[in-house]
C-alpha cells in the first residue's frame, strides 16, 4: 500500500484497513441470518401449529429454510470479504475512495466543491459542515441503479494545499437498510453498502472540471432550503 493510501487509512474509515475483518467476525452475519430465518419462518410455523401439522415435519421445514438462508449469507460474506481484501491489498485506499490534492487553501476548495455539487445532475445536498465535509444524495435511474449517498471530505495538507476525498455508498429504502444493518452487523455493513470506486472517480472528475472552469474564486456559496446565492468574502451579494 502506498504512503498516500496509508495516510487515508487513518482518517475515519476503518474498513480501509485490510485487517478490519477477522475470522471470528463471520459469526455476526451467521447469527443475524439465523435470527432472520426464524422470523421468516414464524408465520408458517404458527399456521402449522394451528392446523396440527406433525412436529417432525415442522422442524424439518424450519431447519431447511434456516440452513439455506445461513448458507447463502455465508457464501455472500466470503465473496464480499475476498473482493474487498483483494482490492485493498492490491490498490490500497484508492480501490474504494477517490482523492485529489488541490493547490488551493482549504476554504477555497470547500466553497468551490460546494458550488460544484449544485451543478451535478440528479443531486441534492443533504448536509454539510463548513470546511470539513459535504454529504450529497445522487438519484439513480430506476432500471440501472439505486440512489447513493456521497461523502466529500476535505483535509488540509498545507497553507495552499487541500485534499478532497470522495466516498459513497448505496442509499436503499429504510426497510432494506434496516435488514442489511441488523443481519450483517456494524463491521460488515459498510463493506456491503460500499460502491465501486469508479462512481467516486466520476464524481471527483466532475468537481475538478468545475474547479477548472472557475479558476478565480472569491465568493462564498450560500445554500438554503428554497434558494441559492453567492456572497463575496467581504459580504457583498452576488447574483
Q: Which residues of 77-122 form beta strands (DSSP E)?
A: 98-102
Q: How confident is the model at residue 16 (pLDDT cuts 50, 70, 90)?
A: confident
> Of all helices (H) and strands (E), which one includes residue 225?
none
Q: Where are the domains of the chain?
A: 3-93, 98-238
Domain 98-238 is found in CATH 3.30.310.80: yes
Question: pLDDT by residue (tens digit) across 23-62?
Answer: 999 999 999 999 998 888 888 778 877 877 777 777 788 8
Give mean pLDDT, residues 176-193: 86
Q: How confident is the model at residue 217 (pLDDT cuts 50, 70, 90)?
A: low
pLDDT at 216: 59
Long-range contacts: 91-96, Cβ < 8 Å, 24+? 92/1, 92/2, 92/4, 92/5, 92/6, 92/8, 93/1, 93/4, 93/5, 93/8, 93/9, 93/13, 93/16, 94/5, 94/197, 95/197, 96/15, 96/16, 96/167, 96/194, 96/197, 96/200
Give mean pLDDT, residues 78-93: 85
Question: pLDDT by residue (tens digit) across 94-118?
Answer: 777 888 888 888 888 888 888 888 8
Name residue, grid cell 426497510: 175
pTM assigned to the model: 0.65
Query: Bridge-partner residues for 162, per DSSP?
Result: 102, 156
**pLDDT at residue 91 greater than cutoff 70:** yes
Amino acid at each position: 500500500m502506498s504512503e498516500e493510501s496509508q495516510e487515508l487509512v487513518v482518517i475515519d474509515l476503518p474498513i480501509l484497513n485490510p485487517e478490519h475483518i477477522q475470522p471470528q467476525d463471520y459469526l455476526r452475519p451467521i447469527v443475524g441470518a439465523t435470527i432472520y430465518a426464524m422470523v421468516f419462518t414464524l408465520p408458517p410455523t404458527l399456521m402449522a401449529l394451528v392446523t396440527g401439522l406433525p412436529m417432525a415435519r415442522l422442524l424439518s421445514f424450519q431447519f431447511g429454510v434456516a440452513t439455506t438462508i445461513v448458507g447463502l449469507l455465508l457464501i455472500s460474506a466470503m465473496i464480499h470479504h475476498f473482493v474487498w481484501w483483494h482490492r485493498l491489498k492490491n490498490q490500497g485506499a484508492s480501490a474504494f475512495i477517490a482523492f485529489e490534492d488541490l493547490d488551493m487553501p482549504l476554504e477555497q476548495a470547500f466553497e468551490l466543491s460546494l458550488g460544484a455539487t449544485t451543478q451535478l445532475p440528479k443531486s441534492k445536498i443533504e448536509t454539510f459542515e463548513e470546511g470539513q465535509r459535504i454529504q450529497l444524495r445522487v438519484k439513480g435511474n430506476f432500471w440501472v441503479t439505486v440512489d447513493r449517498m456521497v461523502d466529500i471530505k476535505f483535509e488540509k495538507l498545507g497553507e495552499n494545499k487541500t485534499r478532497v476525498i470522495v466516498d459513497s455508498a448505496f442509499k436503499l429504502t429504510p426497510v432494506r437498510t434496516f435488514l442489511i444493518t441488523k443481519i450483517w452487523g456494524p463491521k460488515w455493513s459498510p463493506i456491503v453498502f460500499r460502491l465501486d470506486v469508479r462512481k467516486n472517480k466520476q464524481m471527483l472528475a466532475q468537481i475538478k472540471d468545475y474547479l477548472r472552469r472557475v479558476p478565480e474564486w472569491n465568493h462564498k456559496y450560500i445554500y438554503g432550503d428554497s434558494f441559492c446565492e453567492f456572497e463575496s468574502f467581504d459580504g457583498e451579494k452576488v447574483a
